Amino acid sequence: MKEIELNSSGKAEITVSADKLAVNVGSGSLEVLATPVMIMLMEKSACNCLSKYLENDETTVGTEINVKHVSATPEGMKVSAEAVLTEINGREFTFSVKAYDESGLIGEGQHKRFLVFGEKFTSKAKAKLK
């Protein structure tokens, strides 16, 4: 992995469509952005932060997330997430994550990712099938 500095950041953005609503994802009964989709966007922003530093078969996997979903977002609104790298502990990366819709903050928390080697990690996971 190339050297990375604290406070590096990444972003991700979506427009809330029907397939991203809680009622259609299975995480609730309302036509608002599903919490799992907000979390996915937060994870994607962290991935985007790290992607330019990865080499060869390196990738990262999410290992922990602790977030609050503080405001509902209707279909049609844009949602963006930002991850800021706050701690590096060996191969573990900790991020402060926030998500916003066009009206303001909708979620915030902390996310951790761990550096792995894609082929080795996938092989180990597939070995569970045997």
| Homologous superfamily assigned to 9-121 | Hotdog Thioesterase (3.10.129.10)
**Which pLDDT tens digit goes with each residue over 34-87?**
999 999 999 999 999 999 999 999 999 999 999 999 999 999 999 999 999 999
Mean pLDDT of 111-128: 97
pTM given for the model: 0.95
Q: What's the pLDDT band for 20 if we cut at 50, 70, 90?
A: very high
| 88 within 8 A of 58, measured Cβ to Cβ | no
φ, ψ dihedrals at 129, nearest 5°:
-75, -15
pLDDT for 71 equals: 98
Q: Enumerate residues 6+ apart whose C-beta is below 8 A from 95.
A: 46, 49, 83, 84, 85, 86, 110, 111, 112, 113
- Would you kindly state where each structural domain of the chain is located, as residue ranges? 9-121
pLDDT for 34 equals: 98
d(CA 48, CA 90): 19
